Amino acid sequence: MKVGFIGIGRMGEVMTRRLLDAGHEVGVYNRTAAKLKPLTDAGAKPMASIKDAAQFGDAVFTMLGDDAAVLAVVGQVGGLKETLPAGGIHICAGTHSVVAVEKLKAIHRDAGQVLITSPMFGRPEVVAAGQAGIVVGGPAQEVARCRPLFAAIAPRVVEAGADPASAAVIKIANNFVLGCAIEALGEGFSLVRKYGIAPEIFNRVLTEGLFACGAYKIYGTMIAEERYLPAGQSVKNGLKDANLALAAGEAKGVPLPSGNVWRDRLVGALAHGEADHDWAVMAHDQARASGLA
């Protein structure tokens, strides 16, 4: 298939490489054009504008950092609302609020276009290794048409239903559970350290027992080793996720008390200048609060 791709950050780059490796033709656009070179060297076609990317192929991906960025790419002069053809498909792959997705749905519906959401599950290195997942929300016919694209990026693709907001909610809830799990890990590690127990011993107990799964193994090891750079998911992006979860809960009257603790730990790390550290640095903030750091 031919597909446009807008937003070449760390995740956008590895997603594009997966598409290229699977034989798809990809037209790439980024506001900072210099970021395109590694991908154009790998065979991607450089696009000079949003319009060029929107009209390059069968659909156009966006992988953008926040709600403001994706709404601007869609709604600005020369954006997707104006330039994506009638019936064209916008595949929104970032993590965005339910409110933003509802706005995008309305914009594309009024323009006679189609919105599919496809948030990613996995850090960029996990996507690059072909071990990530995708949850997809959108009209069945258009989702079926785009399945080869999703399959190229990730081996696990879950279809959440016809409403694009469904995939956004699932991604928000997944990040909520993961963020709270990492925060709880930080509390547990601080507790054993306060009693003079080596963190690597506790990490073995966790990851060779009841918690022998990827999330605990990855983040437990990072916490035990106090290794928070480079970041897979940064504190500032984790704080965005926490705020998305709390806003989604408030909108439907769902209390998320653990989410408030999760958010506070991220804010604590932010206050100590750790915005660009991995969000597992919440454990370090917990250690500070425990008199350990």
Residues with catalytic annotation? Answer: 171
Is the Cβ–Cβ distance between 134 and 125 less than 8 Å? no
Is the Cβ–Cβ distance between 87 and 76 less than 8 Å? no
Burial class (CB in 10 A: 0-12, 13-18, 19+), 288: middle
State the Cα–Cα distance between residues 96 and 65, nearest whole angstrom: 8
| In the block, residue with structure tokens 């395109």 | 36
State the Cα–Cα distance between residues 257 and 251, nearest whole angstrom: 15
Kindly give the residue spans of alpha helices, DSSP state H, lying in the chain: 10-21, 37-41, 50-54, 67-75, 80-83, 98-110, 124-128, 140-153, 164-194, 199-207, 214-225, 235-252, 257-271, 282-289
Structure tokens that stand for 85 in this block: 């053809």
| Residue in 135, 214, 153, 210 with CA at minimum distance from that of residue 178 | 214
- Which amino acid, residue 84? L
Is the Cβ–Cβ distance between 63 and 6 less than 8 Å? yes
